[in-house]
Amino acid sequence: MSGFAAKSPSGSESQQPLVMIVDDDREQANQIGSFLSRFGISVTQEDNGFAAVNTMRRERPAVVIMDVRMPGLDGIKAAQLAANLDYEPKIILMSGYADQVRRATEEGLNVFAVVDKPLPLRVLVRFVQNALNSVS
């Protein structure tokens, strides 16, 4: 797990809600994390669904950007487990496979969005900002 924390001008970490990126493609996760941190968004990462669910329990990220297709516990199953948490993270599922996007949509999951990959980073940051704005 690696984290990108937004820093204030004084050098201390901001109180910005945490966003977690879950993708077994570390290069892609790092790219998304670096981009989001430029917008002052605090980011943490996991590379599989099991670790993601544990991090959701422990760190309570406000928004979770999660790949659907991962070895072990995939994004859909992780989102189903997240529905049993004592809080409701805003989950954005993404996949580069049309059948997986369709599967995620058909599962009837309580997720903020299901998007195709690759999604331009400027569009993804808007999804994240909208999800953060809707956090209650």
Dihedral angle over CA of 54, 27, 71, 107, nearest 10: 80
To which H or E segment does residue 22 belong?
strand 18-22
Q: Which amino acid is at 94?
A: M
Spatial separation of the C-alpha atoms in residues 48 and 105, rounded to whole Å: 20
Q: What is the CATH number of the domain that holds 122?
A: 3.40.50.2300
pLDDT for residue 1: 45
pLDDT for residue 15: 66
Spatial separation of the C-alpha atoms in residues 65 and 81, rounded to whole Å: 15
For residue 61, the enclosing domain spans: 3-133
**106, two tokens:** 């058909």
Which residues fall within 8 angstroms of residue 39, CB to CB, at 6 or more apart?
125, 129
Residue ranges for the chain with pLDDT beneath 70: 1-15, 136
pTM: 0.85
pLDDT for residue 136: 58
**Which candidate, 73, 72, 58, 76, places its Cα nearest to that of 20?**
58
**46, two tokens:** 């996991």
